[in-house]
Amino acid sequence: MKNHYLVVLCALLVVAGTIPSATQTIRTTSSYVVDLPERRLSNGLIQPPRRFVVERPAPGTIVPGAIIVRTKQSHGTLKGDRVLGTSLANVDLAAVNVRDISMTASASATTLRSLDARITGLDRTYTVRFEEGHDEFELCRTLMNNPDVDFAVPVYIHKLFYTPNDPQFASQGFLNVIRAPQAWDITKGSADVVVAIIDSGTDWQHEDLAESIWINTKEVPNNGIDDDNTGYIDDIRGWDFVGNVTQQQAMQQAFRPDNDPRVSGTNLDGVRAHGTTVAGNAIARTNNGKGIAGVGHDCKILAVKCGSDVGGVSGIYRGYEGIIYAADMGADIINCSWGGPGADPAAQSVIDYALSKGSMVIAAAGNDGQPFENYPQAPATLSGVMSVGSSSNNDRVSSFTNHGWQNVLYAPGENPLSTYPGNQYRGQTGTSFSSPVASGVAALVKSLHPDWTPFQIMMQMRMTVDGLQGVSASERGRYFGRVNAEKAVKFNRSFTSGDRVPGLYYQSHTIVSGQQTITTLEPADLTVTIANALADAPTATVNIAVLDNNVELMSESSVSMSNVTQAASKTFPMRIRLLPTYPWYQASILVRLTILSGTSVNIAHFEVPTQRTTTNSYSGSSLPADWLATFTHVDFSTSSNVLWAAARSNQGPIGLVGSQSGGGSLIIYPYNITALEAMASDRAIVGGITQGRATTSRTVPGQSNWANTDVSSFLTSVDGIHSYDNTNIVVVGTGVGGRLGCGRSNNGGQTWQSVSSTPTLTTSDVIVNKGVAFLGDRIWAVSASGRVCRSSNRGQSWSVSNLNVSGSVVLSMAFRDSVNGVILYRTGSGASTAYRIASSSNSGASWQANVFDVSTLRITPVTVSSPGGHHVIVGSRGEVYGSDDNGSSWQPILSKPAGTVSTALAVIAEGESAVLLGGTEFGVLSYRYSGPNGTRILSAPTEEIDFGVMNIGQNRQRFVRFENLGTSDVSVTSVAFLDENNQPVPHFEVSATLGPIIGVGTSDQLGVRFRAPSTPGTYRATAVVIVDGTPSEFRIPLVAKVDDPSSVIDLTQTARLAPNPVTDVLVITFADSRSRDIHIIDGTGRRLLLTSSESAIVRLSTSDLSPGHYTILVRDGLTTSSARIVVVR
């Protein structure tokens, strides 16, 4: 299924709490990968390698007509330019009518020329604005192939992480929960410690904040001069990066920055008041006889406004520029109570910059209730950021908080009382308010330890947390603990005495082979580095677990270390191997390290990317997380190339219809459907239960409503619908009176005639929703207990067979043709019972149970399906395996992780196989499958290949065609050029790669090039091609002849070469003028320079040549002459 035929939900306009009523254009989706290597920052901090999978964003979550581009070379400090210097990126940008190009960081020239800016790439990161209407994501994907582009990403809009509450005066019980009063007995903070609040704006005139506001003493107030040369004029109390702009102006990035970080106006809503509330949670003035107490007590607030003054304008804009500003102004802590979905390498560069300046970045985890694995957030999940989740005052994980191993810790976030504009006090809920609580604690730690790095502060807070209630030991990696302010300032007052705790952590890893990713099933050796940020650890134990069932840990699962001192590191070897059942072509292997030292425990995770070669392609996207949507049904009409999908959500039953042209619309279903039949872009029929009654519903062409038909007279559930044409339709499900229910319609589903002679089911038995299959005139329907009802005449009459496995529970059934089918079932009803496959080779008349144990695939299966010709089984993470022997064996069909999958359907579209997957995201896997049980017969000529007679410096190419005559794909393992002793031979090389897969009925060519060396003679080799077919080895003789010296004239007899030896320029003086081709050839016969000239005097540059011996070869159409030269330096 080609991508332009796919329609995906990600491109629908997303507005929280609403569903667009108008038809929207839906674009195809895909993703691209940005790999950032390990970075060593100027202060010595090591940022580990990081892979970003950039998915297509939903419109409404990015700024239209703008992208961020980081080039490989800096092209100067741009502002309002129309071209990107001399960058090759201009070639791709030419198609979008660029309006202006400016530095993404609106910082001073001094900042952009700094070492930190160069290391982190800020000096070559540009925001490109262009004419709206172009596809920002596709432009980024195009630029990723540009030789001067490191990466290109959309400009994301970030939201505030709060849940509005009615104004109320709540107690500050959370301060006692985190033991803040006890911490204040040790330190009340320091006015030298500054916490930057990057937010909607801060009311610096509030009675409980005014004394806590940082003042820029390097700036003379209101003189209109940038006294401190930072690029910001009169920034006495911070900066406003956005100003008084409308939503339209914000989307156009027509900002109005000024030097007042306070939100103007009165009666501010929760969005515009957000920053003031966040600031109070962190550092409201404490012990001043007013209002409330802030965790950071006497520390200071740097106010940075990144929201609009205008009511109704939601979102944080220029937040990352605010981070750069705060870091440049010397902020010790930078709080970000905002963020958004997606992986953002441009944002990572900003975080790296802030860390290199000594600023600690703390971010709210987000309020979507989602695991980070499926829902990454920026900045929360960026490397080096302390992500903070929300907990309640009774130390339970808040239901709304995002969670995962990337969360460093949790802090109270449920309605903590704080400041509110206009000298008010209110409580609000969300991780937005957990984050500043943690920032306040971080400020206290920084006050005691002014020389500590951001990472040391983060480790100190993590290693002194209290455990959360209701969190098991196996879950602690996801919910590590709640911040304890007292312990954070009490421990490690000294690294040599008193209460101490080590800070052992995962620092980095490398793949010994030097690769950045694992690409094969061969064992991969890693070197893992553990370091200590805090007090000495006399002993340590690292317990290692690979959190992927299809990856084997081949080395020890526990490693002991001794004497890991403060600021020291230790390494250990680790070996892993992708098992043959590994299902992904692009993914990351998650490794968990449980690091123990005495009573201290840290749980660290790291990812090892995998990238395997395949022709398969997966595209996927999800609806907004706050819709809580799960795709339950998908269908594809092969006759009209139309895709329909249905989802359950808190917005109601919603779905998608998409056409071959790539357009489509978001639709509303009449109820949560249990059966779906796609017929055309404006025609479908569905079934389900509404108001307690089984119902079918059909679209009405030209209208947006559905026409319902009550089928409860013969059905209690609707589990399958199939249309043979626009009028003849069959519906199947659990029937009334303990029977199979079946109805037939000859008027497009307007009315139904029930089939009376249907098989009976056992007591309390029901037809399985994924257990109805249609193929031609045949229908199969299986019950949960394994009773298989089948019809060969469109449901007019039925017969019955049984699985005959006592206590089994059937999950799904599929037929690949009219004869061969499989059933996925469990051996019992318990949660730990095994999954098995049963098969039939006689149209379901009888079944053989237990033909395959699904546990060997190491997945939790969801369903079986078939596009025809083979079966597929789909796992709960989107794993797909194929079988060409009716379920007796299964092989991985390489894909990418697809979130949590609950339904899948295999189809044929445009002649290609595809699997539609639904769950937390909707995705499409386009694939080729050729099972292992067919023949692999490969044909290729094996006679000698003659390259003919060649002159010195020439190269010549020959091709060998390989053809697959079998019924299974053939994999090419290796190609080598060997002599009679099986040793590698020089001068022969691959010019066109063979394979790596030669599909059934296809052919491929191996290109071989011979480069004539400077020594004449006859050269022979054997091309040895190893495959997994028959035969398994091809040996093809190769021969080439290089001219004898007698046929080449001595060039020095007819021309003068000077100087020789030569340094930079060789001058050749001929006796006459004529057309000549002049070559410089190295000792291996490789041509390094070719020039043509008709002059009697020719100058050749040798400045780029390495010192050594070379051959000058001259051809004039009549003779060939050569001479040796020596290049020196």
DSSP per-residue string spanning 789-827: EEESSTTSS-EEEE---TT-EEEEEEESSSS-EEEEEES
Q: What HEC string does 495-529 produce? A: CCCCCCCECEEEEEEEECCCCCCECCCCCEEEEEE
Q: Are 189 and 297 in contact (CB under 8 A)?
A: yes
- The residue written with tokens 């319609």 in the block is 745
DSSP per-residue string spanning 360-390: EEEEE--SS--BTTTS-EETTTSTT-EEEEE
Give the Cα separation of 307 and 260 in Å (integer). 12
Q: Are strands 799-802 and 809-815 parallel, antiparallel or unpaired?
A: unpaired
Peptide bond into 454 cis (omega under 30): no
DSSP-derived letter for residue 653 is S
432 catalytic residue (yes or no): yes
Count Cα atoms within 13 angstroms, Cβ side, for 1055. 32
Read off the tokens for 41: 């920052």
199 catalytic residue (yes or no): yes
Give the Cα separation of 380 and 383 in Å (integer). 9
First to last CA, the chain: 58
203 catalytic residue (yes or no): no
Q: Are 87 and 62 in contact (CB under 8 A)?
A: no
Read off the tokens for 211: 């004394």
Closest alpha carbon to 56 in 141, 113, 127: 141
Read off the tokens for 125: 């990161």
Q: What HEC string does 1074-1110 produce? A: CCEEEEEECCCCCEEEEEEECCCEEEEECCCCCCEEE
Catalytic residue from among 199, 208, 548, 1004: 199
Q: Are 276 and 307 in contact (CB under 8 A)?
A: no
Peptide bond into 1031 cis (omega under 30): yes
Catalytic residue from among 75, 274, 297, 987: 274
Strand, helix or coil for residue 685: strand
Q: Are 661 and 701 in contact (CB under 8 A)?
A: no
Identity at 886, one-letter amino acid code: N
DSSP per-residue string spanning 989-1022: EEEE---SEE-TT-EEEEEEEEE--SS-EEEEEE
- The residue written with tokens 């291996």 in the block is 1084
Catalytic residue from among 30, 359, 432, 659: 432
Strand, helix or coil for residue 581: coil
Give the Cα separation of 25 and 11 in Å (integer). 7
Give the CA diameter of the chain: 108
Q: What backbone phi and psi angles, to 5 degrees, belong to 284?
A: -65, 145
Read off the tokens for 475: 């879950």
Give the Cα separation of 385 and 361 in Å (integer). 5
- The catalytic residues are 199, 274, 432
